[in-house]
Structures are given as C-alpha cells and as structure tokens.
Amino acid sequence: MAADLLDLNPPVGKREQTKVANRAAILEAARQVFGELGYDVATVRDIIRRTDLSVGAFYNYYRSKEEVYEALADDGARRFRPILRKQYQEAGDFESYIRGAIRAYLQFLLAEEESWQQSAQAANRNHPTLRVETPEMMAVFAEVKAAIAGVIERGLAPRVDADYLAASCIAVAREIGERMLERRPINVEEAAEFAVALILGGLTALPRSTVS
C-alpha cells in the first residue's frame, strides 16, 4: 500500500497504529461499561457496542472478558503510580505526604471522571448491585494504600497501627472522593482539605462549615 511509504522508519505501520488504537478503544469502552454495570452484568457485547469493532476483534486483542478487566487495572495503576511517587519525593514529613497523596488522588479521580460516571447511574439502579467499581479504581486504591503503609513503616509517621491507619486513610479518601464527585460545583480543594484535616487532627480540626 501507498501508506506504507510514509511510516517506514518507526516500526509503527498503519497496522501497528490501528492495533494500538483498537486496544485503547476496547479498554476505554470496558472502563465505561464495567463502571456502569459491574463486571458480572457487563457483557462483551456491551463493550464492543461502544466501539466500531466486532466481537471477533475483541478476542483478537484480549483473550477473555477477564483479561480486559485485568488490563484495565494495570492501566490505572500504571498511570497513577508516577503521580503518587512524585508526591512522595516532594514531601518531607508524613503530614505533607498525606496531604499531597490525598490531593493527588482526588485530582486524578476528577480527571478520570468522565470514564467513571458510573456512580450516579449505579447508585439508583433497580436491580440490587453492590458498590460497582472499576478495576482501575481498585488498583489506584491499592497504590495509595501501599504508599501510605510504606511511609508509616519507614518511620516517617508516629508509631501507630499502620495497617489500621492506611486502611482508614484510604477509606476516607475514597468516600470523600465519591461524595465530592456528586456535588456541584466539584471542589477538589475543599474535599482534600476536609479529608486531610480529619486524618491529621480529627473532628476538632475540621474546617467549620460556612454554609448550612
């Protein structure tokens, strides 16, 4: 084909490009679908329907429904890890690390929002379904948790129960994040401030509500 003459130098032929684009398209579609329906309810057809590909093509790129799911998790973790690492490098003490990590997490959450619109829809579904989460989201959680636990273990924080603390931080960040996305306007700073204050100083340290 004529097109071959154009992209010879990088080993990225038109074929290569299409392959990459297709993989990405499937991944993105899967992100949305898993977010909206959950792993079990989502069907492979649901995924490819948001794509201009065929069922067969799906299986050319991923060997199974489960494999996309895992790829999605990998993808999320891979993208979030550097952000988190940066926070670690820039922060001196535990307090600023927590602050940085939580803010980073909430920002990442907001940035990815359109892919994860699920919350709203999933919440008021008639069929009872528990807490639907993107594998990607889970992976990000895992990253944060590992980071916090690691910091604690390296002695950068008071010798408190590291496991409980990490779990609590994650829980708070996650829950606050979820509420944050449902508010209008979305205010990352406010949410981050709240979460950080609670974790660092507890109830008494929380910012006083200006409204209601």
Least spacing, CB of residue 23 vs a copy of itself, in Å:
19
CA–CA distance, 40 with 98 (Å, rounded to integer): 34
Residue ranges in 78-107 that form contacts with a copy of itself under rule CB under 8 A: 94-95, 98
| Among 64, 65, 44, 34, CA closest to 131 | 34
Candidate ranges 23-31, 52-60, 77-85, 129-137; the one touching a copy of itself (CB under 8 A): 129-137
Residue closer to DNA by CB (options 58, 108) is 58
- Please select the residue that binds a copy of itself; options are 2, 130, 184, 185, rule is CB under 8 A: 130
Does the protein bind DNA through residue 183 (CB under 7 A)?
no
What is the maximum alpha-carbon separation in the chain? 70
Which amino acid is residue 39, in one-letter code?
Answer: Y
Q: Judged by CB, which is closer to a copy of itself: 84, or 169? A: 169
If the CB atoms of residues 11 and 158 are measured against a copy of itself, the closer one turns out to be 158
15 binds, options DNA, a copy of itself, none, Cβ within 5 to 8 A by partner type: DNA
Site string for DNA, 55-94 (x = CB under 7 A): xxxxxxx-xxxx----------------------------
| Whether 39 contacts 64, CB under 8 Å | no
- Plot region of 187 (φ>0 → left; ψ -120 to 50 → alpha; else → beta): beta
Please identify which residue in the block is written with the tokens 């050319």.
60
The burial of 140, by beta-carbon neighbours within 10 Å (0-12 exposed, 13-18 middle, 19 or more buried), is given as buried
143 neighbors 77 (Cβ within 8 angstroms): yes
- List of residues 6+ apart from 115 with CB closer than 8 A: 28, 31, 32, 35, 134
Question: Under the criterion CB under 7 A, does residue 113 sit at the interface with DNA?
Answer: no
Kindly list the residues in this chain that would bind a copy of itself in the complex (CB under 8 A): 38-41, 66, 69-70, 73, 94-95, 98, 127-133, 135, 138, 157-165, 167-168, 170-172, 174-176, 178-179, 191, 194-195, 197-209, 212
